[in-house]
Amino acid sequence: MQMRVPLARRASAVTRTIAATALLAALAAHGQAQSPVAEGKTALDPAALGALDKMGAYLRSIKAFQVKAVTTTEDVLDDGQKVQYSGVTDLMTTRTPDRLRADVSSDRQERMYLYDGKEFTLFAKRLGYYATAAAPPTLGELTDRLAERYDIQVPLVDLFKWGPSNSAGITGAMDLGPSEVAGVTCQHYAFRQEGLDWQIWIQKGDYPLPRRLVATTTTDEARPQFTAYYDWNLAPSFNDSAFTFVPPPDAEKIVFAADNAPAGAAR
Amino acid sequence: MSSLRSSLPVALAVLLAGGTAFAGTRGTARTSVNRGGGKANHNANVNRNTNVNRNVNVNQNVNVNRHVDVDVHHHGGYYGGGCCYNSYHPVATAAAVTATAMVTAAVIGSIVNTVPSGCSSVVINGIGYQQCGSTWYQPQFSGTQTTYIVVNAPR
């Protein structure tokens, strides 16, 4: 992929020759990557990276969507034993103006995330607690702010992070061929990056949506996995009130620890 | 968090504030491929376990104390060794948390996962508190987890 830029820009015949050679090498690598067993060495298949970028660009072009994800997450206990928790995330979002609503229900937590373009609210339904914070105007900024200041990951955050270019940090990319996910014909890809091996199933055709994700954490020898199946609705019906939090009568407002006064100072 | 050095109970507080995981959990699967996912430092928090559990010797729960010793051996290396200690159950952890909550009840700024039984819910200036006798806890979101920080009486 990177070869094209110097090829187009530089005039010297020598450079062209070098670039052409590199291009041939890249094409050869591409050929190998399609049979992953070939060398046992990690390869970067440009077609796999291209498919990821195409999916990312498509995701960014969607104005509104609702996605229901069935997820599993593994924890590693101190002795290396793995345990798996399951959950369901129902997320609805729209762009310009940016809004988000997500209901996350897992074995361990039930949380609602609401973002109306001005404020972010986290609501713990079973406990009846909610907290609200001022929020930036775009989803991109929101995901960063929540992660950095509040240690909160927007549910299914990858769906907001993938874009037209995703190759930074990727050290391995393979195309594993066609695969059916919940009745939808997909192409199955596998990627490697520092600390994480992951696989994605991207819908074939005009709507290159992620349909399944498997992410394997490689920094722990137990290699805990996160998995998600995504069910898409690209024409959700909603009105603006869907993104505004109206606390139930018995709910109590609490604080985000990050916004709380220094320890010991009561308010 | 800045009062970490001041006391061991606070170390427990930091531990509890950090994770979605049980105290006997050394790690969890990353749930996002992209950066900006947060949750990056849980393992560090889990590791502070070591200090914490030594302190739990105060309480009478034999099971809890056994786990304590286990963790002390693991100084600094939560990925290391990783051998053979198979009884760090969430149940025991819960016992440790609850017990510590009572022991450290008066330490302003300490944080626990759960409040003792018999507390009452009080709203002051629109913010929820838990009053447990003379001790006041303020519920808060640490990440997406709820924790309770001991505060001075708000009224």
Q: Give me the CATH number covering residue A42.
A: 2.50.20.10
Q: Do B78 and B47 touch, CB atoms closer than 8 A?
A: yes
A5, part of any domain: no
Please check whether residue A250 is in contact with residue A266, taking contact to mean a CB–CB distance below 8 angstroms: no
Chain B residue numbers with beta carbons less than 8 Å from the beta carbon of A71 are 31
CA B144/CA B146 separation, integer angstroms: 7
- Supply the pLDDT for residue A74: 97
The verdict on residue A19 lying in a domain is yes
**pLDDT-based confidence at A203, cuts 50/70/90?**
very high
Tens digits of pLDDT across chain B (155 residues): 333 333 344 334 434 444 445 558 899 999 999 965 444 333 333 333 333 333 333 333 333 332 322 222 233 333 323 332 333 333 334 434 444 445 444 689 899 999 988 999 999 999 999 999 999 999 999 999 999 999 999 88
- Minimal Cβ distance to A151: which of B108, B143, B152: B143
Say if residue A100's pLDDT is above 70: yes
pLDDT at A42: 64
Q: ipTM for the complex?
A: 0.78
Q: What is the pLDDT of residue A50?
A: 97
Query: Quick check: is A182 in a domain?
Result: yes
**Is residue A264 included in any domain, yes or no?**
no
Q: What would the two tokens of residue A143 be? A: 């995901």
**Best of B141, B146, B147, B149 to mutate (most A CBs within 10 Å, chain A):** B141
* Surface of A (17-46) touching B: CB under 8 A: none
Beta strand A99-106 pairing with B25-28 = unpaired
**Tally of structural domains, chain A:** 1
Nearest to A136 by CA among A189, A100, A111: A100
> Is the CB of A256 less than 8 angstroms away from the CB of B36?
no
What residue numbers bound the domain in which A138 lies? 11-244
CB burial of A136-167 (b: ≥16 within 10 Å; e: otherwise) equals beebeebbbbbbeebbbbbbbbbbbbbeeebb
In a domain, A255, yes or no: no
What is the distance between the alpha carbons of residues A155 and A101, in angstroms, rounded to a whole number?
Answer: 10
Mutate to test the interface with B, among A72, A75, A76, A78 (most CBs of B within 10 A): A78
Q: What is the pLDDT of residue B44?
A: 30
Q: What is the phi/psi pair of residue A130, to 5°?
A: -140, 155
Residue A168 half-sphere exposure, CB side, CA atoms within 13 Å? 7
pTM of the model: 0.70
Q: Are B33 and A227 in contact (CB under 8 A)?
A: no
Half-sphere exposure of B132 (CA within 13 A, CB side): 21
- Please state the rounded mean pLDDT for residues A239-258: 93
Yes or no: say if A129 and B128 are a contact pair by the CB < 8 Å rule: yes
- Please report the residues numbered 8 through 27 in chain B whose beta carbons come closer than 8 angstroms to any beta carbon of chain A: 10, 17, 20-22, 24-27
The answer to whether B119 touches B105, Cβ cutoff 8 Å, is no
DSSP per-residue string spanning A200-242? EEEE-SS---EEEEEEEE-SSTT--EEEEEEEEESS----GGG
Percent helix / strand / coil, chain A, rounded to 5? 25, 40, 35
In a domain, A224, yes or no: yes
Is the Cβ of B148 closer than 8 Å to some Cβ of chain A?
A: no
- CB contact, 8 Å: A260 with chain B? yes
**Given this model, what pLDDT does residue B100 score?**
47
Q: Flag whether A136 is in a domain.
A: yes
Residue A58 lies in a domain: yes
pLDDT at A81 over 90: yes
Q: How far apart are CA A124 and CA A104, in angstroms?
A: 10
pLDDT-above-90 percentage for chain B: 28
